[in-house]
Chain A
Amino acid sequence: MPNPLIAKLEHGARLTDEDRQLLKKLTARRRHVGPYQDIIREGDMPEDVRLIMDGFACRYQILPDGKRHIMAYLVPGDICDFHVAILGEMDHNIGTLTSCSVVEISHETIHDITTKHRNLNRAFWWGTLVDEGILREWLVSLGRRSAAQRVAHLFCELLIRLQTVGLADQNSFDMPLTQEELADTLGLSTLHVNRMMQELREKGLITTASKRLTINDVERLQDIAQFNPNFLHLGPRENKANEDSRDVQPPAA
């Protein structure tokens, strides 16, 4: 299995071998965290940055009446806020949904990357912008997509995100999320999620077998969800002015 952080960040900048070596070193020491454990809690002041290397985690909030809402999924290669040390305190929790392998990056290392490694700095910034893109798309889903579209859109998104880090093939991936977790993500009841999954299965669009989700017709599911993958920003920006271009002469004034 490729290193998911490297696989992901390859989309954010033109990494050099030196960059890859550094990322490999950065992710060598992994800590195992069991399912349904908090990695960071609301009110914490984390100094170090956490990174998911294996498993699924999520950002969530528990409302005063006990209801939970999931605001993001963190899949392998995803970072729990690259610049978290800037914040006074965490405004939400990050917890695992499955067993996870987690890496901690010290704030000194983060400082080192942002000041000395322009390529990597750019790649991590790209990651932050992609996180925002995903959040915006989820906002659209909650505000304007039907229940069926919300479910379909999320599956289309996860397929591509997991493909990016080598954890999905052309049309299937291991999907550990329960209907309850999907409900808390999509603003639906568990029964509505059950119904939507049933509908997608009946139409032959998805198949689920022992936690593996297969999208039988990716194009059709994307059509139903009105899915446009542009928010994942996987296409490189071929604009030299935006690359690390110390060796490129600026145009004459």
Chain B
Amino acid sequence: MAPVLTVQPIRVATSRHGDEGRLVLADGLLVAVLVLLSDQYGPEAGRWFLETGYGPVDGVTHPTFADVSEAQEWIAGRLATRR
């Protein structure tokens, strides 16, 4: 059965004052930290960045997503292929 993804808001110390972020959990296990990109990132501003991943989501790929649900879909895909 596919793991249940849940999302929790969190502030992340990726800039001096912190950025808006999300912890993504799969069946209660932390698998990813997402960060909302601020204006300093130019055309990427407003997108969600895969700051870090754990387990099947770990790797050197750090994509950005239009919104959190798109990120969740991508994470679900990784979890499905790496099980």
A contact set with B: CB distance below 8 Å: 67, 187, 189, 191-192, 194-195, 198, 202
Query: Using Cβ atoms and an 8 Å threshold, which residues of chain A touch B40?
Result: 194, 198
B contact set with A: CB distance below 8 Å: 14-16, 37, 40-41, 44, 49, 60, 62, 64
Report A197 CB to chain B, min CB distance, Å: 10
8 contacts between A and B (CB under 8 A): A67-B60, A191-B41, A191-B44, A191-B49, A191-B62, A191-B64, A192-B62, A195-B15
> Do the beta carbons of A189 and B62 come within 8 Å of each other?
yes
User: Apart from A194-B40, A198-B40, what are 15 other A-B pairs with CB-CB below 8 Å?
Assistant: A67-B60, A187-B60, A189-B60, A189-B62, A191-B37, A191-B41, A191-B44, A191-B49, A191-B62, A191-B64, A192-B62, A194-B41, A195-B14, A195-B15, A202-B16
Closest A residue to B42 by beta carbon equals A194
Distance in angstroms between the alpha carbons of A251 and B37 in the assembled complex: 69
Closest B residue to A189 by beta carbon equals B62
Query: Using Cβ atoms and an 8 Å threshold, which residues of chain A touch B16?
Result: 202
Distance in angstroms between the alpha carbons of A198 and B45 in the assembled complex: 14
Report B13 CB to chain A, min CB distance, Å: 12
Query: Using Cβ atoms and an 8 Å threshold, which residues of chain A touch B44?
Result: 191
Distance in angstroms between the alpha carbons of A187 and B61 in the assembled complex: 10
Query: Using Cβ atoms and an 8 Å threshold, which residues of chain A touch B64?
Result: 191
Query: Using Cβ atoms and an 8 Å threshold, which residues of chain B touch A191?
Result: 37, 41, 44, 49, 62, 64
Distance in angstroms between the alpha carbons of A191 and B52 in the assembled complex: 12
Distance in angstroms between the alpha carbons of A191 and B60 in the assembled complex: 12
Distance in angstroms between the alpha carbons of A194 and B37 in the assembled complex: 11
Report B74 CB to chain A, min CB distance, Å: 15
Distance in angstroms between the alpha carbons of A162 and B62 in the assembled complex: 32
Report A19 CB to chain B, min CB distance, Å: 45
Distance in angstroms between the alpha carbons of A166 and B62 in the assembled complex: 38
Distance in angstroms between the alpha carbons of A232 and B37 in the assembled complex: 38
Distance in angstroms between the alpha carbons of A67 and B61 in the assembled complex: 9
Distance in angstroms between the alpha carbons of A195 and B44 in the assembled complex: 12
Closest A residue to B62 by beta carbon equals A189
Report A146 CB to chain B, min CB distance, Å: 14
Report A172 CB to chain B, min CB distance, Å: 23
Closest B residue to A194 by beta carbon equals B41
Report B48 CB to chain A, min CB distance, Å: 11
Report B14 CB to chain A, min CB distance, Å: 7
Distance in angstroms between the alpha carbons of A194 and B38 in the assembled complex: 12
Which of A189, A191, A192, A202 has the largest number of chain B CB atoms within 10 A? A191
Distance in angstroms between the alpha carbons of A141 and B59 in the assembled complex: 18
Report A96 CB to chain B, min CB distance, Å: 25
Query: Using Cβ atoms and an 8 Å threshold, which residues of chain B touch A195?
Result: 14-15
Distance in angstroms between the alpha carbons of A212 and B40 in the assembled complex: 20
Report B60 CB to chain A, min CB distance, Å: 7
Distance in angstroms between the alpha carbons of A195 and B49 in the assembled complex: 12
Distance in angstroms between the alpha carbons of A17 and B40 in the assembled complex: 53
Distance in angstroms between the alpha carbons of A67 and B41 in the assembled complex: 22
Distance in angstroms between the alpha carbons of A29 and B16 in the assembled complex: 52
